[in-house]
Amino acid sequence: MKKKIIVTGGTGYIGSHTLIELIKNGEFEPIAVDSCVRSTPETIQRVEAITGVRVKHYQVDICDKNAFFNVFELEKEVVGIIHFAAFKCVPESVEKPLMYYHNNLQSLENVLEACEKFQLQYLIFSSSASIYGDVKELPVTENTPVGIPFCPYAHTKQIGEQMIHFFTQQHPHLQSVILRYFNPVGNDMSGLNGELSPDKPNNLMPIVTQVGIGKMKQLTVFGTDYDTRDGSCIRDYIHVCDIADAHVKALLFLENQKNTSRCETFNLGSGNGVSVLEMIDAFEKVNGIKLNYVLGERRPGDVPAIYSDSTRANQLLGWECRYGINEMVESAWKWEKHLAQEH
């Protein structure tokens, strides 16, 4: 029998791609729990179109403890949770800090309570490279000190990690993995599932594709006078399907008792720094289109360069990136075109 895994945020960007990877792996039965305040229930159909499997979805806000716990009562025999559900927009978190503290921390508290009440064995938590703040040394390893949080969003991830550390110390039945993502981009290679960005996206890739399709007029490169090889900022972009795959590998790692502590932490990045101008160039070349972009001022709060050392995940999880920059820009564009056809 397949092992039941609750995927909170299962209709979101990384969550839905993780449903696909879990189904492909075959050992687990993912069950999505998502209020769909930042996603849509139709994602379940998209996942079905790709995998042929209809994932069960509970449209429940996990901040509503009774409703959330009810899912476990109904499902029975759940062995673990992959916890994605959270708000993740940096500028919004600066504008509405309490909304972020409430949503991201109340939900995690309920997840941990569920782990206790239903005696779950596995917890995988979505964290972010933003917890490192302004790093002094590159590449970033898991031993790089956690920095001063530059926004409430990053702070909720720092607090979340600490909550899991302290909680697992007291609950030997629970083994956990914290995954710190760098810059997830791209979509399912089929072009049938992908990120549903807000009307005004903040992240580079959705802006690139929206400019490409004409939803947005122009892309501004934020800063070309950084001390980097071409003057624009360098980030560690990683294909979302590789991020999703790491969650399956993390579950298997715990299941096979390869962990040496009850709370293990891994960076998830490609290990390659790519500049904004290089990303634009790859997008144009691979997809054969010209982007309307201008060189502009620096965006406040941006660090010049950050990229990961993911050796720990490579070695201990047996995980490696299958996709490079070309697949990232190709799949991002495929999805944007698919969305345009749908509407």
Query: Which one of 14, 62, 111, 219 is in contact with ligand UD1 (CB under 6 A)?
Result: 219
Q: Are 259 and 253 in contact (CB under 8 A)?
A: yes
Q: Is 130 in the site for ligand UD1 (CB under 6 A)?
A: yes
| Active site residue ranges | 153
Spatial separation of the C-alpha atoms in residues 168 and 255, rounded to whole Å: 16
The string of DSSP codes covering 103-171 is IIIIHHHHHHHHHHHTT--EEEEEEEGGGG-S-SSSSB-TTSPP---SSHHHHHHHHHHHHHHHHHHH-
Which residue, 203 or 259, is less far from ligand UD1 as judged by CB?
203
For residue 343, give the nearest of 214, 180, 154 by alpha carbon: 214
Instruction: Give every CB contact of residue 255 below 8 A, 6+ residues apart in sequence.
Output: 122
Give the one residue of 4, 24, 146, 222 binding ligand UD1; rule: CB under 6 A: 222
CB of 64 to ligand UD1, least distance (A): 26
Of positions 5, 81, 221, 328, contacts ligand UD1 by CB under 6 A:
221
Cα separations (Å) of 298 from 94, 182, 231, 233, 295? 18, 20, 11, 9, 10
Closest CB to ligand UD1 among 55 and 154? 154
CB of 243 to ligand UD1, least distance (A): 10
Note whether 120 binds ligand UD1 by CB under 6 A: no
Binder among 73, 301, 318, 340 for ligand UD1 (CB under 6 A): 301
Helix (H) or strand (E) holding 65: helix 65-75
Q: Which of positions 78-97 make contact with ligand UD1 (CB under 6 A)?
A: 90
Chosen residue from 14, 114, 204, 241 binding ligand UD1 by CB under 6 A: 204
Q: List contacts with ligand UD1 (CB under 6 A).
A: 90, 128, 130, 154, 183-184, 202-204, 207, 219-222, 233, 235, 276, 299, 301-302
